[in-house]
Amino acid sequence: MTSYPEAVRWADDGRALDVLDQTRLPEAEVRLRLETAEQVAEAIRAMRVRGAPAIGIAAAMGLALELARHTGLALPEFRLKLEQTCGLLADTRPTAVNLFWALERMRRLAASLEDSSPGVVACRLHGEASAILQEDRAMCRRIGQHGLALLPPEGVVGVLTHCNAGALATGGMGTALAPVYLARAQGRALRVYAGETRPMLQGSRLTVWELQRAGVDVTLVADTVAGFLMQQGRVNLVLVGADRIAANGDVVNKIGTYQLAVLARHHGIPFYVAAPTSSVDCAVPEGRGIPIEERDPEEVRRGFGRLTAPADAQVYAPAFDLTPAELITAIVTDRGVLRPPYAAAIREALE
């Protein structure tokens, strides 16, 4: 059986989050014990936990942990604590909708338990966070099964992926990488090209690490190699994740995704997005309504330590970009493969 890393899980005693610190990969496999919402918020902001589904899961678990520490409060103060903690966790990263989706789900449950004691609410929220984790695991598998059907049946399949939409980004086997894991388990011949994904290098540090660990044939390329790879006929399909999908099918994902979609269109190569339905935000009609996070310029000037630009270089550092729906061949979700026109397909899938 193919093995993949667990990005987020409960600590054995259930009183903390146990996360794999992704800022330390691939040099060191360090797991962190996070006991407070403050610690969880820091881990999300610093990208120790990252990837849209994993951020949502971590936030839900962090909220549950924090409230379990405050069951001695009177009900009104406990409710206030809940709202403040949701605010703290929501304020970490603005783009991936899964964060807000998970917190809203937790808040709704708490609201439905109006007359319950803090102890009961905290206990139910712990259960809900566990359900969010378990459901994500199942959604990843279903995405994998639907995505598998899109792979050409014959020959060595060349897949280009970007950033990390694998196990490290979710509660299960990933989204874009789920079909890859399932194909590997079936012994299908697959070669994955992983773009390194400047500036935070999720492709080289994380995707290559987790695929190598699973025995998948993976080749690292600098982001600038993508066009040449396609020109050489080495790529049969592009497969990426999503941080938020608008109601019309526009996709916001890691910076660099849009240029891959343009290149794929030019070369007549299918461009697939894989994401759970929790990444769809129907409240946003078009992609340009999605907030794009800007990161610290030092991540571009200095990367992981060494100065690679003049220390005072002006930098524009968006963490994500927008791929218009018209460039996307299909969106692979846990509820099936969605094809254009996306507005109708998305509405139907969410019903």
Point out which residues bind ligand MRU (CB under 6 A).
50-53, 96, 163, 165, 169-170, 175, 202, 241-243, 253-254, 319
Cα dihedral angle (124, 127, 133, 138), rounded to 10 degrees?
Answer: -110
Closest by Cα among 165, 108, 106 to 139 = 165
243 given a catalytic annotation: yes
CB of 178 to ligand MRU, least distance (A): 9
Alpha-helical segments (H) within the chain? 37-45, 52-68, 75-90, 97-112, 118-148, 178-185, 208-213, 226-231, 257-267, 298-301, 342-350
Residue 118 or 174 having the CB closest to ligand MRU: 174
Q: How far apart are CA 85 and CA 202, in angstroms?
A: 28
Residue 67 or 168 having the CB closest to ligand MRU: 168
Residue 82 or 165 having the CB closest to ligand MRU: 165
Beta strands 31-34 and 17-20, pairing class: antiparallel
Residue at token pair 């881990």: 43
CB of 21 to ligand MRU, least distance (A): 14
Residue at token pair 């259960």: 127
Beta strands 237-240 and 157-161, pairing class: parallel
Residue 233 or 318 having the CB closest to ligand MRU: 318
Closest by Cα among 258, 55, 330, 300 to 165 = 55
As given in the structure block, the two tokens for residue 263 are: 């290149």
Residue 58 or 165 having the CB closest to ligand MRU: 165
CB of 163 to ligand MRU, least distance (A): 4
Q: Which of 13, 136, 243, 281 is catalytic?
A: 243
CB of 206 to ligand MRU, least distance (A): 8
CB of 52 to ligand MRU, least distance (A): 4
Residues with catalytic roles: 243
